[in-house]
Structure 1
Amino acid sequence: MIDLRFLRDNPDAVRASQRARGESESRVDDLLAADEARRAAVAKADALRGEQKAVSNKVKAASKEERPALVAAARELAATVKAAEADQASSDAALREAHLAIPNVVEEGAPPGGEDDYVVVREVGTIPSLDAPLDHLELGEKLGAIDMERGSKVSGSRFFFLTGVGALLELALLNMAIAQAVEYGFTPVITPTLVKPEIMGGTGFLGAHADEIYRLEADDLYLVGTSEVPLAGFHSDEILDLSGGAKRYAGWSTCYRREAGSYGKDTRGIIRVHQFDKVEMFSYTTLDQAHEEHQRLLAWEEEMLAKVEIPYRVIDVAAGDLGSSAARKFDCEAWVPTQGRYREVTSTSNCTDFQARRLNIRHRGASGRPEPVATLNGTLATTRWIVAILENHQQPDGSVVVPAALRPFLGGRDVLAP
């Protein structure tokens, strides 16, 4: 959630953020009104409690003759205090509801607009010249690497098996991602994939995109769509020591997404599926270091893409496509030859203090007082990369050349052959 002090001092900046996102500016006024009402209710309740304490002291010191009137006044005042406290509780709830309705304030420089209003930052690599290329599923089936038919038989549509070299390729890719993360000082973590509602909600995933999430109703737990969620919850209700720099984690997890609303989209192969694996970078840092940390995460994503020798582009995601927690997001999109276009394979977001305020994660600032941290996340490798690796490195005979940096993680194999 956003900083209420920032809102009070800069309401027009929050309104501008709402406009950039294509969301209602009236929610800003609703939150300002709820904040004012809550502060008034607190002040009233505090004043009445002070008056109640004073009357109570008078009762104790009163003479026998004065006591009955004072006791009656104290009883009447107690009822008034109770009503004021009920009003305060109601105003607290109204403020929280209005507060949760406002997404993070968009970082200056992010393009306004919706899904199609992104800005291309750069294109990297040479698009391969392929004569009648096979798509990743045809290649995967020839290699004995991907089995969609049995995935559907066992679990339903948009599920799959990775078999043989397919399983080895994914493990190699994710292990290379972990190795790179460790090289740069990340702590590797294998995370839970089930989380409590307060953790899922704290990261901002129970808002507009709640229908994307699998929920286990009997246990009141959610299956995560990214290890960002458990890694954000890892330090909930804690005060961190950031005096030595950012805390960085690399989470390996299986991820689950319902893909609600995607009927008919990317039904072939493993581009859009219900279950996949991913290594996710997650950083806790100070607010003044968040922008620089965001650029570092993006650079590490690009380093991984360079290692697998895939043409890609970086886009600056438009404000209306950010998601509620992010103030700025960059995607890396890999070239997919058989589609003749770029498809997202990584994403990195700066969530500033939005998640930390919800999850009560703080550090001690220069004043020594606790203040919210900034949280950031970025994909380092995921199952979808297999699509781009197979298609961009395919050979006319149906084999696939293994990128040089990946070979040590594949037992030295340089070619995957049917």
Structure 2
Amino acid sequence: MIDLRLLREDPDTVRASQRARGESESVVDDLLRADEDRRAAVQRFETLRAEQKQLGKQMPRASGDEKTALLQRTKELSAEVKAAEAAAGEAEQRLRRAQMAIPNVVEQGAPAGGEDDYVVLREVGAKPAIDNPRDHLELGEALRAIDMERGAKVSGSRFYFLTGVGALLQLGLFQLALAQAVEYGFTPAITPALVKPESMEGTGFLGAHASEVYRLEADDLFLVGTSEVPLAAYHSDEILQLDSPMRYAGWSSCFRREAGSYGKDTRGIIRVHQFDKVEMFSYCRPEEAHAEHLRLLAWEEEMLAKVEVPYRVIDVAAGDLGSSAARKYDCEAWVPSQGRYREVTSTSNCTTFQGRRLNVRYRDENGKPQTAATLNGTLATTRWLVPILENHQQPDGSVRVPKALQPYVGGRDVLEPRR
């Protein structure tokens, strides 16, 4: 949730952020009123409580009519204090609801607009010249690497099996990603796939995108769509030592309902209900967040270079950021069968939005607790198999293996179709 000090001191910045996202500015005024109401309610409670304490001190010295009056006022005051305390509690809840309704304030410089208003920052690598390119599923089935038919038989649509070299390629890709993460000081982590509601809400995934999340009602737990969720909640209600960024690389299975995607990307493994991912996650001081964001992007690009696929980097528009992000960069890999780029990584600067919800803090130079900033970024996912297979395909249906992945497939430099 956003910083109330920013709201009070510069509400126009929050309004401008809402406009950039294409969302209502009225929620800003709602939050301002809720903040004023809560402060007034708390002040009334504290004033009455102070009077109550003062009467308590006067009582032992009072006698006669004075004591009778004090007793009467004490009785009246007790009811007023109780009512004022309840009103302050209700005002606090209204404030929290109003605060939770506003997404993160967009970072200055992010493009305004919606999904199609991104800005291309750069294109990297030469697109391969392939006549009549096969798509990843045709290639994967010939290699016996991807089995969608049996995935659907066992679990339903948008499920699959990775078998043989498909499984080896994914495991190799993730080991490569973790090795790079460790090289740059990340702590590797295998995270829980199920989290409590407060963890999901704290990271901002129960707002506009709640329909994407699987919930186990009997246990009141949620299946995560990214290890960002458990990693963000990992240090909830803690005070961290943040002399430098604290970084984790989480390996997890991820689950998404893909609500509203009927008819989109129904072929292959681009849009599925379950996949695996290695996710970078960083805690840092707010003033370091912008530079840390660019570092996460650079590490994503380093991984894409290792698997030798052409890609582009886009600056995502404000209306397509999601509630927690103040700025987001995507890397999109070239997919020859579609003749277009498709997203394979995303890195977001969430500033103090998640840290405030999850109560993650650090001590500043004066020893005073301050809210930590959080950032996340994809280092590898199952979807990467799509551009890897398609960009390295050969006319006979075989697939060249990027040099960095060859040790994970038995040293082979080419994967041959299995007849």
TM-score, normalization: structure 1? 0.99
Does residue 238 in structure 1 map to residue 238 in structure 2?
Answer: yes
2:10 and 2:408 map into 1 onto residues whose CA distance is 51
Note the C-alpha offset of 1:77: 0.9
Counterpart for residue 350 of structure 1 = 349
Alignment partner, residue 137 of structure 2: 137
Tell me how far 1:411 sits from its aligned partner. 2.7
The 8 Å contact of residues 11 and 28 in structure 1, kept in 2 or not, is answered as: yes
Residues 28-68 of structure 1, C-alpha deviations (whole Å, 9 max, x = no match): 11101110110011111000000111112222221245323
Deviation at 1:21, TM superposition (A): 0.3
Which residue number in structure 1 is paired with residue 280 of structure 2? Answer: 281
Deviations 1:187-235 (A, max 9, x none): 0000001000000000000000000000000000000000000000110
Moved more, 57-66 or 368-377: 57-66
Per the alignment, residue 152 of structure 1 pairs with: 152
Q: How does 1:183-222 map to 2 (within 5 A)?
A: 183-222=183-222
Determine the structure 2 residue equivalent to 1:62: 62
Tell whether the 8 Å contact from 1:223 to 1:255 is kept in structure 2 after alignment: yes
SS at match of 2:129: coil
Secondary structure, aligned partner of 2:332: strand
* More divergent stretch after superposition (344-353 vs 68-77): 68-77
CA deviation digits over 1:345-366, x for unaligned, max 9?
0000000000000000000112
Partner Cα separation in structure 2 for residue 99 and residue 293 of structure 1? 26
Corresponding residue for residue 261 of structure 2: 262
CA RMSD of superposed structures (Å): 0.7
Quick check: 1:202–1:359 contact (8 Å CA) kept in 2?
A: yes
* Shift of residue 380, structure 1, vs aligned partner: 0.2
The normalised TM-score by structure 2 is 0.99
State the AA in 2 paired with 1:89: G
* Aligned residue number for residue 9 of structure 1: 9
- Structure-1 residue corresponding to 2:178: 178
Tell me the distance in 1 between the aligned counterparts of 2:405 and 2:183: 16
Distance 1:202 1:400 in 2: 43
Per-residue Cα deviation, 1:340-395 (whole angstroms, up to 9, x for no partner) = 00000000000000000000000011221000111000000000000000000001
2:47 maps to a residue whose letter is A
Q: 1:83 is matched with which residue?
A: 83
SS in 1 for 2:376: strand
**Whole-angstrom CA distance in 2 between matches of 1:60 and 1:148:** 82
Matched, 1:404 2:403: yes
Which amino acid in the other structure matches residue 122 of structure 1?
Answer: R
Q: CA deviation at 1:409?
A: 2.7
Amino acid at match of 2:312: R
1: CA distance, partners of 2:212 / 2:278? 20
Paired AA for residue 258 in structure 1: R
Distance 1:80 1:180 in 2: 62
Q: How does 1:5-154 map to 2 (within 5 A)?
A: 5-154=5-154
Matched, 1:338 2:337: yes
Q: Is the 8 A contact 1:176 1:409 kept in 2?
A: no
Q: Secondary structure at the match of 1:329?
A: strand
Q: Distance in 2 between matches of 1:204 and 1:337?
A: 35
Distance 1:69 1:26 in 2: 48
Aligned residue identity for 1:10: D
Cα deviation, residue 82, structure 1: 1.1
Give the deviation of 1:130 after TM superposition. 0.3
Take 1:65 and 1:31, find their aligned partners in 2: how far apart are those partners? 48
Q: 1:272 — aligned with what? A: 271
Check the 8 A contact 1:106/1:328 in 2, yes or no: yes
Moved more, 375-384 or 62-71: 62-71
Q: What residue in structure 2 maps to residue 293 of structure 1? A: 292
In structure 2, C-alpha distance between the alignment counterparts of 1:414 and 1:286, rounded to whole Å: 44
Percent identical pairs in the alignment equals 74
Listed as ranges, the gaps of 5+ residues in structure 1 are none
The worse-fitting range, judged by mean Cα deviation, of 361-370 and 254-263 is: 361-370
Taking the aligned partners of 2:323 and 2:314, their CA distance within structure 1 comes to 19
Shift of 1:332: 0.2
Q: Is 1:360 aligned to residue 383 of structure 2? A: no
Question: Matches of 2:336 and 2:230 in 1, distance apart?
Answer: 35
Where does residue 417 of structure 1 map in the other structure?
416
Q: How far has the Cα of 1:132 moved from its partner?
A: 1.0
Return the offset for 1:242.
1.0
| Greater Cα offset, 77-86 or 210-219 | 77-86
Aligned to 1:379: 378
Deviates more, 1:60-69 or 1:81-90: 60-69
Cα distance in structure 2, aligned partners of 1:62 and 1:317: 70
Partner of 2:369: 370
